[in-house]
Structure 1
Amino acid sequence: MELYLYTLPIVLAGLLQGGYFVYTSAILNAVMLIGIFVCVMKNKKVYLAFNMNLLSIFIVCLMYFLTALWGIDSGMSLMGGVKFLPLLLWFLLIAGKKDRKERLIETLPVLGACMTLFSFVMMQFSIFEKSVSVAGRLAGFFQYPNTYALFMLICLVIAVDKLNWDKIDWLWCAYAGIAVFGIIMSGSRTVLLLMLVLGAWYCVKRKLPGKVLLMAAGGCAVLVVLLWITGVGKEVLIRVFSTNGSTFWGRLLYMKDAAGMILTHPFGLGYYGYHYLQTSCQTGVYSVVSVHNELLQLMLDVGILPAILFYGMLVKSCISKNVSGRNRLLLLIVILHSLFDYDFQFLVIGMVVILLLEDENVKEISISWFTRICSLFAAIGVMAVSYRTGLSDYYYMKNMPQKALKTYQGNTEARIELLKKADTVKKMKRISDKIIEDNSKVAVAYSARAQVCFAEGDMEGYIKNKLIAIQLAPYQYEEYEDYLDTLAYAEGEYLKGKDTKSAQECVKRANTIPGLLNDVKEKTSSLGWKINDTPTVLLSHEKLELIKEMEKKINE
């Protein structure tokens, strides 16, 4: 019974998109709080590890909640607190249980193999394909190939560690083979490179017989050939061997831009704060929720010190002699990969990492009836908050923004989606005003407010809000064209009404647009020109002619 209690959370995290979304965290919070309560009621005591691990995880989780006080968006910050709370609960649930941790670690290759086989079969049916793959790349239940590949690499290392080359266990060989298949099908070049480096290191360290090396190399070669011939993995293999460096340069661009935000916001921006501030600080064309570097992401979300503390915890266990060689290797793999992707946004990776950490200074603490009752009420409160934010996130993911906001008013993403669907000026005004009240960094809200002002005949208000929208999202070229078209229309209306002064103002504003685009060109970094999506920094010939036509009209 207890084994199922400890296995269920990590299985659920894996099944529910790797624990990426807030609604999956709400489910995990409920499951683990119930699990902790059952253990406390049964044993009348708990095990707590009073060490750097507890301190680091507690501070990171706490800071996700506290950033609601100063972050970019307090409502989304609360959702971030709910999202990452399962990591603390998981740490508390398995504290001091070394044997069960080891059993859970050895279960991972089984779970990974099942996920890979089921996903690959589902991938062959168009109705399920998008649930387990992205652009032809196998993604497991995570719906993100790179993190799925990292999980399978973890499974591979565990499986290979169990192999005894004097007496081969074919079941563990099968788990290892399925893991290799999953990594190749994921198309993750970073994980594939890590796998090859680890494979070479392992062969040298273990001094494997030539027969075994030949079998392993031959097996991989046959697998690649079969994937190519059958066409099943052709697109993936083309991507793996592609020399297009846009993804790499993109990662560097995200990190470079993020570094500037960190220096100006050392205490963090809160959950989704980076995403909202990104448009005004970026030096290239991109739109991402995460910076693809978890050290920087933690600094952006909760501040510099908590991020350093968290990674210090990982490094400490990675070099500790009290941690097995296998677990230290796994921690090293996760640390390295997390510096180039957003692994910890998937809670299943964080939960696996907690299983690998050094277990020290564990103490048994008796729990009184009073403490148990107080803890029960606290747990109910946490579950209530998790329920509202989680359900709101679920409705948002299912494209039901109205229900999402009815459940939880702080879901800014749902409100933005609702704004995009607004079909009247009144609705647009009400929704955009509320977004700006809660979060002053949402460009689309100012763009909507500009449309409202234009509909109400307030051209001055239109120009003011449109320029704010452009300032917040300077790489949105469509905004410049819309601005110019509106100015041209307004000029015509003013001239009809014999209002020459206002018409001249429209022409004057139109002539500033090429300069605004030139500012974008000057702002764009060298990395911004190396990725596939480069900025449009010149008006089209048609739009330049429109400006000339506006000048001609005013001079007639």
Structure 2
Amino acid sequence: MLLYEKKKEGKLWYIKLYILTTAVLFTGSRIVFFLMIINYLLFFIVDKKNRVTIFVMTGWIIGLTIIGIVITGSYQNMGRYLTIFTHNSTLWGRILYQVDGLKMLLKRPAGLGYMGYYFLQPSVQSAAYTTKFVHNDFLQIGLDGGMIAMILAVILFIQSIYEKSSQDLQKHLLVIIAIHSCLDFNLQFLSIGMIVIVCMQCKEKKELQLKKIKIFCLLTFVGFVLSLRAGIGTSLEYQGKYKQALKIMPELTTARMKQLSKETNKNQAEESADKLIHSNKRISQAYGVKAEIAYGENNYNAMVRYKRQEIKNRKYDIAIYEDYIDKLACILQEKQADSDTKGMKQYLEELLWIQQYIEKINTQTNPIANHLKDESILQFDSNYQNYLEQIRDYYNRNYKTQGDKTQF
């Protein structure tokens, strides 16, 4: 915006430019930094009057980056800008989120509703990562409100950018916000949303006369009541008053999940888990609680059923697999003590299923995950790995018949 000002004389203008450029560096965002460099390069090419200023600012940026590396002795602060194209795990991660998110949208073009992506993503993701949003505002609009809503949002941006009555500054801001929105969630911040609205121009102003004012007032009142209900419910959840929040909004899934994690009474925990499963069958936490209760009651068949579903709903969480192995190991000891060979075979095969399922998940992992900083595939530590190998050997010696190719 400063570079668009016609009058650039005075120290204040340069001070503001230095402060804003330095602030971008201190954000640590390589995407924002890259966009700033592209903008400086653009103005360097098209605006001859600003070339000296931009050249000086480039030196300022390089100087601050070097000073940051020397002082901290680390590339994890300002020096990380130098690795934007070599070691950018964040960028690859966001590309991976969007690939998985696009697949979800294609399968569900009507959208998933607010937070639907967050609940569904652990069961369909193609690598080991954790995220609440897809980090692409346009795709997020599609996942929340459907493909039509996403297409309309894209058209609205394009139409406003090409609107003849819009000023260059307005168009420039819309382009920058649109580009950055493809890799982050700008529009979820009210301030950015207001800037977008201000920059958008309408061709014609139209006045609408409401003929059925009573119906309009009724709909407005209903909308106000629903908004008030949602506001009170989410406010109570924010304050940690989950039971009160659920009395006002029983469908508030996040509050029910938090309440479930606090339950100490078995009956109440099972009731909360059942309600969660009834409203959303993708919540792995609910199946985990059901499995824990079934295990405590020695209802091992039910435990297996719930534990499998918990794993399928959160297939890249290694801790769930390890907990399941621990439980199966205890059951095997019990069956061995009772000389229950049939029972031992059943739960040995369940341990073999875990091995096969993990191998299947790892083969389906997206190659993009190799660029991520964290481990991209499921892998047990040496203790669990050795135990599973011993189980496979024991099963092959005692139960597997020649030529048996049964898949568990």
TM-score (norm 1): 0.65
User: Is it true that 1:438 corresponds to 2:279 in the alignment?
Assistant: yes
Deviations 1:414-448 (A, max 9, x none): 21122222223223211111111110111121121
Note closer, same or farther for the CA distance 1:550–1:196 as it changes in structure 2 (3 Å cut). closer
- The match for 1:262 is 105
Partner in structure 2 of residue 338 of structure 1: 181
Partner residue in 2 for 1:65: none
C-alpha deviation, 1:408, in angstroms: 2.2
Letter in 1 for 2:113: G
C-alpha separation in 2, matches of 1:176 and 1:163: 14
1:366 deviates by 5.7
Partner in structure 2 of residue 449 of structure 1:
290
- Asked whether the 8 Å contact 1:391–1:404 carries over to 2, the reply is yes
Aligned counterpart, 2:195: 352
Q: What are the within-5 Å matches in structure 2 for residues 235-250 of structure 1?
A: 235-242=76-83, 243-250=86-93
Greater relative CO (CA pairs within 8 A, separation 6+):
1
Can you give the 5+ residue segments of structure 2 that lack an aligned partner in the other structure? 400-408
1:472 and 2:313 aligned: yes
Q: How many residues align?
A: 395
The answer on 1:292 being equivalent to 2:135 is yes
Aligned identity (percent) is 26
Deviations 1:299-347 (A, max 9, x none): 2111112211111010011011111111011111111111111222223
> Paired residue for 2:344, among 498, 503, 506?
503
Question: Following TM superposition, by how much is the alpha carbon of 1:357 offset from its aligned partner in structure 2, in angstroms?
Answer: 0.6
Contact 2:115 2:144 in 1 (8 A): yes
Residue in 2 that maps onto 1:402: 243
Q: Deviations over 1:331-376 (max 9, x none)?
A: 11111111111222223222211111112221345668x83x7655
Q: 1:163 to 1:177 in 2, by over 3 A?
A: farther
Distance 1:434 1:321, change over 3 A: same
SS in 2 for 1:533: coil
Rounded Cα–Cα distance in structure 1 between residues aligned with 2:220 and 2:12:
42
Cα distance in 1, alignment partners of residues 139 and 253 from structure 2: 23
Q: Distance in 2 between matches of 1:517 and 1:209?
A: 58
Name 1:30's counterpart in structure 2. none
Q: 2:172 aligns with which of 329, 352, 369?
A: 329
The aligned amino acid for 2:116 is G
- CA distance in 1 between partners of 2:43 and 2:51 (Å): 13
2:373 to 517, 522, 532: 532
The aligned counterpart of 1:460 is 301
Assess if the C-alpha contact under 8 Å between 1:284 and 1:534 holds in 2.
no
In the alignment, is the contact (CA less than 8 A) between 1:425 and 1:455 conserved in 2? no
What corresponds to 1:425 in structure 2? 266
> Can you give the 5+ residue segments of structure 1 that lack an aligned partner in the other structure?
1-157
Separation in 2, partners of 1:527, 1:335: 24
CA offset digits 1:394-415 (Å, max 9, x no partner): 3434444334324422221121
Does 2:92 correspond to 1:271?
no
Q: Which residue of 2 aligns with 1:491?
A: 332
CA contact (8 A) 2:166 2:201 kept: yes
- Contact residue 186 and residue 236 of structure 1 kept, 8 A: no
Q: Name the CA distance, whole Å, in 2 between partners of 1:307 and 1:223.
A: 40
2:355 to 509, 514, 517: 514
Tell me the amino acid that sits aligned with residue 523 of structure 1: Q
From 147, 162, 173, the counterpart of 1:319: 162
CA contact (8 A) 2:119 2:282 kept: yes
